[in-house]
Amino acid sequence: MSNRQILIDSLPTGALAEDHFRAEDGSMPEPGDGQALCQTLAISIDAGARAGLQGSASYAGAPRTGIVMNGSTVSRIVSSNDPAYKEGDLVSAPSGWQEYAAHDTRLLSPLPDIEDPAAYLGVLGGTGLTAYFGLFEIGKPKAGETLVVSAAAGAVGHLVGQMARIHGCRAVGIAGSDAKCDRLVSELGFDAAVNYREDNFRQMLKEACPEGIDVYFDNTGGDVLGTALFRMNENGRIVCCGVVSQYDTTNPAPGPRGVPGLLVNKRLTMQGFLVFDFLDQYEAARNVMLEWLEQGQLVAWQDQFDGLDSAPRAFVDLLAGGNTGKRIVRVAS
């Protein structure tokens, strides 16, 4: 039996394309002592993985070719050499873009057998946890304040705006199409949403935030950050979550005007974070989000491609804004 894999064939020097990857049929991995063989059910497609290929994500190490493309997966145990895991168990795993992987079981996390375990790649996985900790631990919103989030119709963004609303804030989204903006307002209850691709984006953002911005959750960096920065209120907080506008290039633009001058004059805080910083609080945050989901206060959008070979297309298309909500690739049922 073979193991279908998608490898990094070459590193992009400009925009990422599907042919930076190649598919191969590798041999089936053999689990060693303390390891389990995992079958991939679904893969998380993450914008941040593009930063890994760029070499700008220091936590991911230097990018390399000839290796399986990385990515979190929801997987099922096929066989195990650790009595704590048995055949059929569902786990989250770091398998990347391949059908099977053998892992040390310390790298696995057991998952409950829910109807669609792929939720553990989205709202109940790293995506939802990023939204939760970035908003509440870094953004520190107060009821009545205005929160703005960029890449608002994306995996992290659509959850941030809803969580801010649950917390009693006014939530304004920034996204790349009118259709996405309409859905944020009509389906998720955002108070307003503006399209950053419009010529009058600055003016539209000003009108959408008549009382200024207290918390800006930045998924994009670049011009969108530059525009939001000038609308910040005194003592506002900027949550630096990611820089997706600068990933798909070898020449990221310099940071926005106004730093540090605006930070000084408006006493702004601008703070980055990585979701792993809050590892010891994951369980508690998941329980809160599960409750919001059950009560219908939080809605998780999922966006799906089918088949392992579609992963490169799913990734390239996500960087161009093709996704709405959390993008996954289903590999097996």
Ligand X SMILES: NC(=O)c1ccc[n+]([C@@H]2O[C@H](COP(=O)([O-])OP(=O)(O)OC[C@H]3O[C@@H](n4cnc5c(N)ncnc54)[C@H](OP(=O)(O)O)[C@@H]3O)[C@@H](O)[C@H]2O)c1
- CA nearest 47: which of 198, 167, 154, 133? 154
- CA nearest 162: which of 260, 289, 269, 72? 289
219 binds ligand X (CB under 6 A): yes
Least separation, in Å, of the C-beta of 89 and ligand X?
26
Q: Identify the three-state secondary structure at position 313.
A: helix
302 binds ligand X (CB under 6 A): no
CB of 332 closer than 8 Å to CB of 307:
no
Q: Which is nearer to ligand X, 40 or 323 (CB)?
A: 323
157 binds ligand X (CB under 6 A): yes
Q: Which is nearer to ligand X, 6 or 135 (CB)?
A: 135
d(Cα 301, Cα 8) in Å, to the nearest integer? 28
Q: Identify the three-state secondary structure at position 36.
A: strand
Task: For the segment 259-278, give every residue that binds ligand X (CB under 6 A).
Answer: 273-275
Q: Which is nearer to ligand X, 20 or 180 (CB)?
A: 180
**What type of residue is 54?**
Q
Least separation, in Å, of the C-beta of 279 and ligand X?
11
Among 91, 156, 188, 308, binds ligand X (CB under 6 A): 156
Q: Identify the three-state secondary structure at position 5.
A: strand
184 binds ligand X (CB under 6 A): no
Phi, then psi, of 117 in degrees rounded to 5: -60, -15
Q: Which is nearer to ligand X, 67 or 320 (CB)?
A: 320
Binding mask 132-151 for ligand X (x = CB under 6 A): -------------------x
Least separation, in Å, of the C-beta of 274 and ligand X?
4
Among 244, 268, 328, 331, binds ligand X (CB under 6 A): 244
Least separation, in Å, of the C-beta of 25 and ligand X?
29
227 binds ligand X (CB under 6 A): no
Instruction: Say which residue the tokens 């041999």 belong to.
Output: 27
Least separation, in Å, of the C-beta of 318 and ligand X?
5
Least separation, in Å, of the C-beta of 64 and ligand X?
20
Among 245, 285, 311, 315, binds ligand X (CB under 6 A): 245
Beta bridge partners of 24: 5
318 binds ligand X (CB under 6 A): yes
**Binding residue count for ligand X, defined by CB under 6 A:** 33
Among 6, 31, 43, 46, binds ligand X (CB under 6 A): 46
Which tokens go with 162?
């809803």
Neighbours of 204 (CB within 10 A): 19
113-120 contacts at long range (C-beta below 8 A, 24 or more positions apart) = 117/41, 117/42, 117/74, 117/90, 118/41, 118/42, 118/74, 118/302, 118/304, 118/328, 118/330, 119/300, 119/302, 120/74, 120/92
Binding region for ligand X (CB under 6 A) = 46-48, 126-127, 130, 151, 153-157, 175-177, 180, 196, 219-220, 222, 224, 241-245, 273-275, 318-319, 321, 323
